[in-house]
Structure 1
Amino acid sequence: MRHTKHSQTDTPVVQRDDETFRLLYVCTGNVCRSPGAEILTRHLLRGRLGGREAARIEVASAGVRAVVGAPMHPESRAALEPWALDTDHWSGDFRARQLSAGIVRDADLVLTASRKHRSTVLTEFPEMLGVTFSLVEFARLVSAVDATMLPPDLVKRARAAVDAARAQRGLVPADGDDRIPDPIGGEPQDYRNATAMTFRAVVDVLDVIAPRS
């Protein structure tokens, strides 16, 4: 069951009563940055928590102008090789999908590749303001949270971390433009750089939400 509460800034925040936390990554075509973030997050969660506990966080991705049905870009897939995630099991079966109302409104946290993507999501779904951030922005904000104050249960901890990160808005300055550059049309190194930047941000997020035992 879902219900809505209001944050300190009177922003509607979707709340859930179930025991699953839903994380959505968003980029443009859903063939490079957001699927990379999705796959890396799944991999890291499983490694830290084991399959059963990791399954309590559902990770998905979509694109604001998705190349619907397309596989992951081969260079982005190749950039996952250092983590052995360039296999059919991890990235070979991926297919891009278009962002939709059902996908967005089902999420507990929406993390975008850039501020522009965040604005695109919020233009269509303003009610998601309280749970929508760029990935780099959220990594910065949640890293400033006192993790010792978060509950131990994974799902409750993730929801509390979102609330705590939201309270950090305006308090933790950005070092840049909170963007993971789009590698499309670039050299292989551009894809590797985008993936490495994504990995660092995802690790920062999971160090708070799902810390190593």
Structure 2
Amino acid sequence: MGRPDGPAAERGGEPERFRLLFVCTGNICRSPAAEIMMRHLLVGGLGGREAARFEISSAGVNAVVGEMMHPDTRDELSPWGLDGPHAGAFRARQLRSAMIRRADLVLGANVRHRGAIVEREPAGLRTTFALREFAALADAVDEGMLPPGDPVKRMHDLVDRARAKRGLVAVDPDDVMIPDPMGRPPEAHRNAVHLITDAVYRITNKVIPLRG
């Protein structure tokens, strides 16, 4: 699928970068976990140089600005060794309209975050999904239809193809929920990170080209 010229189209019209923004409520549990896990999987699958072409960030619709990641969610990243500097340097940010306009893809923790994002910035309608909603749509995309090679180009194309499947793929709102673990026991944080990791794995597996 062709992609119109935009902020990511550079050097002869080829996309040089991909900007992905994760959004939740306070930006201290779900969206930072998604940000850190996505970056980790891209580095593991592509290597640091290619992964650096993906700008991964997060924000909250009602952020606890400047706060560190919640310790219970941070602890759930320990099996991947991501509970150290990766999580320790994180600070929560408030979602701004400019962030949405700049992003090539915005993924909210839940459907209501998707609605809040678009309400804040209507221009984000084409690029905004709930995280597990996007994973379900990505699952329905034939990987063979994505352009070979360049992972950034594959990601741009995946967004276009997932958008085209909206309304054609049955997505139950209950199935795309990532419950807010804030104020709940550690098991709730474990469940949230499990759901996030599952979705991010499914997305990155579509984007990282198979090595022959």
Which consecutive residues of structure 1, in runs of 5 or more, have no partner in the other structure? 6-12
Aligned with 1:70 (options 58, 62, 67): 67
Residue correspondence of structure 1 range 1-213 to structure 2 within 5 A: 16-18=8-10, 19-87=16-84, 89-152=85-148, 153-177=150-174, 178-211=176-209, 213=211
Q: TM-score, normalised by structure 2?
A: 0.91
Q: Deviations over 1:28-78 (max 9, x none)?
A: 000000000000001000000000000111100000000000000000100
Aligned counterparts of 2:172 and 2:204: Cα–Cα separation in 1: 20
Determine the structure 2 residue equivalent to 1:8: none
Cα distance, 1:174 vs structure 2: 1.9
**TM norm structure 1:** 0.91
Following superposition, the deviation at residue 127 of structure 1 comes to 1.2
Distance 1:165 1:15, change over 3 A: farther
Stretches of structure 2 lacking an aligned partner (at least 5 in a row): 11-15
Contact 1:27 1:64 in 2 (8 A): yes
Question: How much does 1:176 deviate?
Answer: 4.3
Q: Counterpart in 2 of 1:9?
A: none
Q: Distance in 1 between matches of 2:32 and 2:208?
A: 20
SS at match of 1:62: strand
Instruction: Report if the CA contact (8 A) 2:151-2:209 is conserved.
Output: no
* Aligned mates of 2:65, 2:28 — CA distance in 1: 9
Segments ≥4 residues shifted beyond 6 Å:
none
Count of residue pairs the alignment pairs up: 202
